[in-house]
Homo-oligomer: A and B are copies of this chain.
Amino acid sequence: MQILLTVAYDGTAYAGWQRQQNAIAVQQRLEEALSTLLSRPITINAASRTDAGVHALGQRAAFFADDLRVSLKKLPQVINGLLPPDISVTAAQAVCDNFNPRFDAEYKIYTYNTYCAATPNPLLRRYSAYVPQMLDIQAMKKAAGMFAGRHDFAAFMATGSSAKTTVREIFSCDVRETQPGLIALTITGNGFLYNMVRIIAGTVLYVGLGKILPQDIPMIISSCDRTKAGKTMPPEGLTLVEVGYKQDKLLCNG
């Protein structure tokens, strides 16, 4: 039986999702907890390999086990008892053996938070980037909307990455002020290139600062030139909010 977990974590203390040689990754902590529970080595496959310092509310990760001694309903609490407090399994469900949490994802939702005020807010610093300058939020909203659609996002990919194709579809991208000074960019797409959300967030920030005009976004996209886009924002503002699957991918139909 393959089991799919929903996982939330505060990425501050971790070298990212993926297991590393010389640093602690979220994957390692979760595999250690499952290995303790099942008394044998467990390997998990995740939907997204989030970078060092990036957070998650709805990461998905799957593993195989026919020897679970607890119900799926109780499984999150039992695993959480074996995890540090900055990682939490929030749900568990059975899926087909041929289900793949990464390749079967229909969409992913990320949020990038930026806190804009004259002085930093220590209660937001772990989960947002801080910007002391005034931002034009209306211009940022306009710019964000222009990322929607199927485009070649080569201009919004970290140099040195080796994606087969740089075409991705963005279903929605919007900006709103969720509390005074806290600006959330929420983006939904069928997939994201390496650092793509952090570069889009940096480009929308440049619009807020008046360095780029909203109407320049289509031209920056079509240029396929990384140097035309904004800076790569720091990891602490990024959260993987949700990974969505088609219902028929999750259910075993024989």
Chain A interface extent, by class: 20 to 34
- A55 at interface by CB-CB < 8 Å: yes
The closest CB in chain B to the CB of A6 belongs to B119
Known: A76-B118, A118-B76. A55 touches B239 (CB 8 A): no
- A25 at interface by CB-CB < 8 Å: no
CB of A76 within 8 A of CB of B123, answer no
Contact of A10 among B9, B89, B119, B123 (CB under 8 A): B123
Contact of A127 among B8, B85, B119, B123 (CB under 8 A): B123
- A80 at interface by CB-CB < 8 Å: yes
A123–B120 alpha-carbon span in the complex (Å): 18
A127–B8 alpha-carbon span in the complex (Å): 16
The closest CB in chain B to the CB of A73 belongs to B118
CB of B123 within 8 A of CB of A8, answer yes
- A114 at interface by CB-CB < 8 Å: no
The closest CB in chain B to the CB of A178 belongs to B179
Q: Which residues of B contact A87 (CB under 8 A)?
A: 122
A125–B55 alpha-carbon span in the complex (Å): 13
- A57 at interface by CB-CB < 8 Å: yes
Q: Which residues of B contact A50 (CB under 8 A)?
A: none
Known: A76-B118, A118-B76. A123 touches B55 (CB 8 A): yes
Interface string of A58-84 (1 = CB under 8 A from B): 000000000000000000110010000
Interface string of A117-133 (1 = CB under 8 A from B): 11111110111000010
Q: Which residues of B contact A117 (CB under 8 A)?
A: 90
- A86 at interface by CB-CB < 8 Å: yes
